[in-house]
Structure 1
Amino acid sequence: MDVNAAVAALAAIAGVCTGVIAMLAFRWSERDQARPTRTSLHTDAVLPPGVDTVLSVLRSSAVVLDESDSVVKASSAAYALGLVRGGKLAVEPMLHMARDTRRDGEIRQVELDLPRRGTGRGEALAVSARVAPLGSRLVLLLVEDLTEARRIEAVRRDFVANVSHELKTPTGALSLLSEAVMDASDDPEAVTRFAGRMQIEATRLTNLVQELIDLSRVQNDDPLEDAEPVRVDELVAEAIDRSRHTASTKQITMAAGGTADLYVWGNRGQLAAALGNLVENAVNYSPARTRVGIAGRRIAAPGGGGTSQAFGPGGLIEIAVTDQGIGISEKDRERIFERFYRVDPARSRATGGTGLGLAIVKHVAASHGGEVTVWSSEGQGSTFTLRLPEAGAVRDRASAGRDPVTTDEDDDVPYETFSSAVPHSPAIVPAPEVLP
């Protein structure tokens, strides 16, 4: 009997303990649910009806503060910008604005530069903050990130300044030369000389305007809307023909080599302009009696394969333009694809360069899903490499019975012969000795 009583007592005690534990767990769950989260530090009940829904669809970073400056509601973007930390608004100027707005009810707006979160560099985020009362006790802060807009505006401002400067040079020269022609009207020899200079400046002005048009076109148009399989041999032949006269004047030999019957997928006009700019630069910046080579080959896409536009699996086509010119210093290599940047301004003026050619090449390569890279050594030469997706299926259909395009009697050079005649980057072939 005593044993039964003891068992009953133990069962009763166990039941009481179970009930206490269940009650504590329930209370703990309630408290955990009421704990503030990243998007809501207090219960949504304190917000006016519909405000929570509106804040969730705003593009701006949103923060709602109560009368004690505690964060009632904050969007994920506000946390990403570092506006809210530990349940408080972390930007002191915005906090002062919120307090002033709570006091007098006026809407305030200011633009600020905030330190970029998580970086030790001096970079800053440009933001626009707007504070407005929300009901009788709350204050709404909306923050717009202006960093990218400011960067684009700075690029546009620099572009306009550079264009103005570049246009001013030939137009000013034309004005002075026209005055000189008028003053020398009784001297036929002087008139002829000044007229020739006017033609040079007019050509430079025409080239600048045309390259501005080309740059605008490659930036705004989608090249793949009118894309087609383009034969690399034909692009190389066209690029060589474009610079043939200048190369002949300087006694520069141009040679094409590499793999025949390669095809890329893209806009023929843009690709021809890009490769033509690379070959033209190579000729312009090479001394007399040197050699410029253009070689194409097929390489594997990163990861051992790839997918060509509209033609399924394929690799990449690499077109290298190599010269024995003045070369490019390491500090200039990072900037040569910027608009209007020139390694040697005096040399560019002498050759009629506009500083837009490589910028066009970069945009054409990027819009076609490729890239352009450079290897260079001062005094030895440079290699510009254009990599583009291959139109793989067209290669298979066209591989039977077609001879490669030749540009000169000695231009159809095998890749190995060509590569031994001009300096290449290690990415293309092992670095050979440079010919004198």
Structure 2
Amino acid sequence: MLSRPRIQPYAQYLMGASTAMITTTVAVVDPARITVAYVVGAGVILAACIAMWFVWRDKPTRGTVWVCIVPLVSIIACAPLRSSAIDLLPVTGMLVIFPIAWLAFAFPPIVTAAGVVVAGLLPLAASPAVPAGLSEWVSLATVPALLGMFAIGSRFVATDLGRQRKSARKAKHRLAEALESSNRTDAALRQLLDTSPDAIVLFGEDGAVLVANAPARDLSRRAGIAISLDQNGRTSVYEEDRVTPIVLGPYLRDVILSGELAEARRVWVGDPGDQVALRFIARPISLDSEPIGVLVVAQDVTELVEAVDVRDRFLDTVGHELRTPLTVILGNAELAVAGAMPEHRDRWETIHRAAERLQHTVELMLATGRAEVAPGSPSCNVRAVVDRAVAEATDEDHGVAVTVAGAPADARIAARDLQSIVAELLRNARQASPPGGPVSVTITGEPGAVMIAVADAGAGMSAAERRQAFERFYRTARSRRSADQGLGLGLSLARGLARAHGGDVRLLAGAEQGTTAVVRLPSADSPVSDAPLDPATTVP
């Protein structure tokens, strides 16, 4: 048992109050019953109440079994009260219930048994004669028996309460540990979020701000946007032209929950002349299809946008500076080939092919750097474009053996862009295949899409090489060893163009050997959807 129930004075105080009530009644009804012994007994009970006040004030926590003296003495002090007033007030015999309950509740069983025995012998204090018959013995034994059962019941209650208190203490300890762990985790998470360069804000189901890291607060101050889903429209947020304001109103939460801002979007934040570019998403957080919050993540891409602007200006300048002399070289090379003597024709044709190859490299660099697609939803006949690309590839290299299979199908992509994709894949397949090796192009259709598979007969690529093949300027070890021409931009351009039109390009291991490049494009009759963001091939 715990020590605190032993030192609490409530049972003794109740006994003292009951003694005062009985004494008052006896004094009014029959004052002669207030004898010296009665006064001593009542005084002992009152003194025990005062003693318990001091014990409770000090609140000892160890070695408190000695406190059992108080209820035991109180039981003995009940003897003169019982002798004087039991016939006048039978309730006087119930005074011992308070110390018995206290002993059963807070002290060892042996102490409780002693209290029950003492209380059971109290009737002998009024009549010390030995009981003469069975009825007197039964009457005498009934009192301690009832008190014993009362003590046992109190003990069971005390034991159960003790178990519940122990369980509650363990639960409290576990909750305290969980709370401390949660606080530590929360502090670590907040530190982690504050070190993130991205602005992160998490709103609860009721729109309250649960998390807002330091970058989010900085952007909020700069843009004049309160970190809230309830906006008043007076903000410094602009469209990509940097001058058209974006109005944020009280309907912002509904817009986010509708999924309208679930895809990355770029805006400019801040007053004109001092703006930063943000790429942000705002998505609802759901549990069992029910929205329970909103997450907003914004990334500062100002440096990246400025770098893209610098790159574009550089590409414009380099493109102009390279195209002009190349046009002159190609034109004069064509004239030289047309009028050259037979013994010099091969040299001029070599120069012409080298100039064409250089022109293609320049155009590839410029196209890969931008990967922009004209607006609209053009379509073309895939088989016709593939046949044209194969014919041009055959003209460039008469040793290639290309076979085309598949019925005509229309895809939603510009013919020029599709021809660029197929030409790059054919060029890679021709370089990977052995001299005169077969290259196959297969066109197939499926619901809502057109598939173009270009398979070579080369040595094939490893899984790691297939994963890295779409990175700009990446070339396999075999290509570097064999000194194949190219900058490692063809596949990057092909995937960028395909994704810009809602498609994609993948590399698969061949059935027996080689590598198969699979182009998937939306069919002309499929619904139009936004092109996925590809940070490797699109301007942010």
Larger Cα-atom Rg: 2
Q: Same fold (TM over 0.5)?
A: no
TM-score, normalised via structure 2 length: 0.35
Q: Which structure dedicates a bigger proportion of its chain to strand?
A: 1
Question: What is the TM-score normalised by the length of structure 1?
Answer: 0.43
